[in-house]
Structure 1
Amino acid sequence: MQEAERSEVEPVTHGLTLLALGRARMNKVTRLATPMLLLAGYAPDADWLSYFGGPAAVFAFRRTMLHSLAGTAALATVVAAAFWWIGRRHPKAPVRLWRALLVCYIAAGSHLLLDLPNPYGLQLLWPFRDKWFAWGIVETVDIWVFAILLLGLLLPALFRLVSEEIGAHVQPRGARRGAIVALALIVVYGGSRWVFRIRAEEILRSRMYHGAAPLVVAAYPSSVSPVTWRGMVETENTIEEVEVHLGRGGYFDPDRGMTNYKPEPSVMLEAARQTVTVQNFVRFARFPLARVQRLRNGYQVELVDLRFASDTPRPSGFMVRVGLDEEMRVVKEEIRPVPPRRPGAAGR
């Protein structure tokens, strides 16, 4: 199966965060702390292997078990226990179990804290609840988060080289301070985007859309600017996509967005809804939209979640396709990347 997900924090950001945690003295908590950080911090993404198991496996495992509080705690415990066992071979410098657990829990927790802010979400309370938690305040690849982490790790080394070159006093804790400042700035940045998102959603709720009242609204990041948001509004018959500009001189026109009309009830949609893949997708999706296409030997039903729709030239998010024959029997179920939207395309 092709990679169907773009709404995921790419591994470089995870790695930079783990390195920053190490620089912030986590690498001094116990021997082998750095490999513990990296292994426990990346371990939740092992559920990416579910893509090889087909649609049912994706919805059963991706961002569920290993990205839950219980799952990440179990992973961190296993990693810590493994390093503690390895450390027993060196009795002169053993790995203390409680110190290893501390390092691994912080690393695994950082993974969740990086994945929660993007629109995809996690099933944090699995297996007790199947609710998806998603803050939706930053893009998958946020250039500001990446830049803050990179500068926090590289600038202290650069300042050290310059200081040595001119013979000035070198700050011994520069690397530690740089990492701590970078992590703090990310928290401040995330908090500011949270405030902007709340403001954008307030604006979306305050308007009418082609004479219809909003039922559900949400705002998602749409650019590198924290004051520009992509608004999603569900009304009785449509799902509206409209930009919200919060900066100085910002404007908002609810009638200048893209209108996606909900499909009429049909036997094709009802047949597709009976499949486990569609049922799982509907539970996951925030703004699901279905389209029915007539084929030579039957029908094809496509479902997309419009929060992942994109005008960029790359695929964004994933879609579900269900093939039906003339007798409304299911002949195919698959998950595929959402193709880039054609310029000027409008919902129907």
Structure 2
Amino acid sequence: MDTGTHVVMGLALGGLATLDPVVANSTVTASSVMIATIVGSQAPDIDTVLKLRNNAVYIRNHRGVTHSIPAVLLWPLGIVAVIYPFFPEANLLHLWIWTFIAVFLHVFVDIFNAYGTQALRPFSSKWVALGVINTFDPFIFGIHILGLIAWAFGAHPGYTFLGIYAVLVAYYIVRFITQKAVLRAVKQLVPDATEIIIAPTMKFHQWRIAVMNKHQFFVGRSHNNKVTILDQFNRVAVPETPVIDAAKKDKNLSAFLSFSPVYRWEVDEYDDFYEVRFIDLRYRSNGHYPFVAVVQLDTDLNIKTSYTGWIFSEEKLRKKLDIIPN
């Protein structure tokens, strides 16, 4: 989920914790738990700072080790170790319990996004991405804001958020049912599909679709369970050529390939350089595919410059290639 949603979820957990008699009967414990749930709901995303280095490092590592099983166990210990000295009269066990719940819930809800997490590390490096909830979901964020407003006007925070989370459980179930309906519609349209990726959008009834069969890629949208194919591409295996082999050694392209399961490729030859481009097909927006990896090589196949990330115009891409060092 996005940072804002994780923040309001941390506040909501602090309110929900008031149903715990130990928390409710101790102002010190309640205060420490509120701080801990806010921090715990953010802690796994500390790897966002990797974006300051470059997109390649960020793509490879975001939601990786910081969302792993060991991290889920270690984050609460670290957070409690920092907070407890400021609240020595707080109940240590219940402070840890609610901190653990905050960290676990952060990782758990991220699994439902299309991006997913490597939540099964160290047992598996597979990305777990159920693709039923958008990274920012207006309903989930909005219902938390309503709960916080109700709390501010005197509603009991514990019962308020208990009711809200009951609604959200039902909401998640509905999202799964809707996704299954879209999946059935895609299978009817492309019966020989070998892989189907259905990704949510911010709009409840709209989904992004990327489909593969043995010979083609299909990119489309679903609106109210009606699937429309917007683009089709012949599926051409990436050849083993000197140019592409050299480009694959680039850190940006390597990161892209580790992240993207559905893409097409292009190689252009100019007077004094080659350009290799890989294009992720999952994120079509207004006829454009903004998530790409581009590598430029000289005629001796030395990498001159490269970039991976979100680009919404060719002009901006050219600027990135001019200023981003390899």
Shorter-normalised TM range: 0.7 to 0.9
The structure whose residues are more often helix, as a share, is 2
Report the counterpart of residue 311 of structure 2 in structure 1.
338
Alignment partners' CA distance in 1, 2:256 and 2:94? 40
Gaps of 5+ in 1: 1-8, 89-93, 161-172, 342-348
Q: Return the offset for 1:223.
A: 4.7
Partner residue in 2 for 1:33: 33
* Structure-2 residue corresponding to 1:47: 47
CA distance in 1, matches of 2:313, 2:188: 31
Post-superposition CA distance 1:107-162 (Å, at most 9, x none): 1112112322221111112233221111111222211112211122223545x5xx
Structure 1 SS opposite 2:265: strand
Q: CA RMSD in A?
A: 2.7
Q: For 2:58 and 2:262, how far apart are their aligned partners in 1?
A: 19
Paired residues for 1:242-257 under 5 Å: 242-246=220-224, 251-252=226-227, 256-257=229-230
The answer to whether the 8 Å contact 1:311/1:340 transfers is no
User: CA offset at residue 339 of structure 1?
Assistant: 1.6
Q: CA contact under 8 A between 1:55 and 1:333: conserved in structure 2?
A: no
Note if contact 1:84-1:97 (Cα within 8 Å) is conserved in structure 2. Answer: yes
Q: Distance in 2 between matches of 1:107 and 1:312?
A: 39
Q: Against the structure 1 CA distance between its residues 340 and 103, is the aligned structure 2 distance closer, same or farther, given a 3 Å change threshold?
A: farther
1:177 counterpart (159, 162, 177): 159
Which residue of 107, 110, 134 corresponds with 1:112?
A: 107
Higher relative contact order (CA 8 A, sep 6+): 1
1:325 maps to which residue? 298
Return the offset for 1:198. Answer: 1.8
5 Å-filtered alignment, 1:209-288, equals 213-225=192-204, 227-246=205-224, 251-252=226-227, 256-263=229-236, 265=239, 266-288=241-263
CA offset digits 1:51-98 (Å, max 9, x no partner)? 12234532443111112222132122100122233334xxxxx23332
Alpha-carbon separation, structure 2, partners of 1:270 and 1:207: 36
CA contact (8 A) 2:17 2:98 kept: no
Counterparts of 1:138-177 in structure 2, within 5 Å, are 138-155=133-150, 157-158=152-153, 160=154, 174-177=156-159
| 1:156-175 C-alpha deviation (Å, 9 max, x unpaired) | 545x5xxxxxxxxxxxx533
The question of whether the paired residues in 2 share the 8 Å contact of 1:16 and 1:150 is answered with yes
2:212 and 2:183 map into 1 onto residues whose CA distance is 12
Q: Which of 168, 174, 177 matches 1:186? A: 168
| Corresponding residue for residue 76 of structure 2 | 76
Aligned equivalent of 2:9, options 10, 17, 40: 17
Shift of 1:193: 0.5
Identity of aligned residues (%): 21
- Paired amino acid for 2:94: R
Per the normalisation by structure 2, the TM-score is 0.82
Task: Name stretches of at least 5 consecutive residues in structure 2 with no aligned partner.
Answer: 315-326
What is the DSSP-based 3-state SS (H/G/I as helix, E as strand, rest coil) of the residue aligned with 1:258? strand
Query: Aligned partner of 1:152: which letter?
Result: G
Count, aligned residues: 304
Query: Is the CA contact 1:324–1:331 (under 8 Å) kept in the aligned structure 2?
Result: yes
Residue 276 of structure 1, CA deviation: 4.5
* Residue 188 of structure 2 corresponds to residue 206 of structure 1: yes
Query: Aligned residue for 1:294?
Result: 269
Asked if structure 1 preserves the Cα contact closer than 8 Å seen for 2:210 and 2:217, the reply is: yes
Structure 1: distance between partners of 2:61 and 2:203 = 31
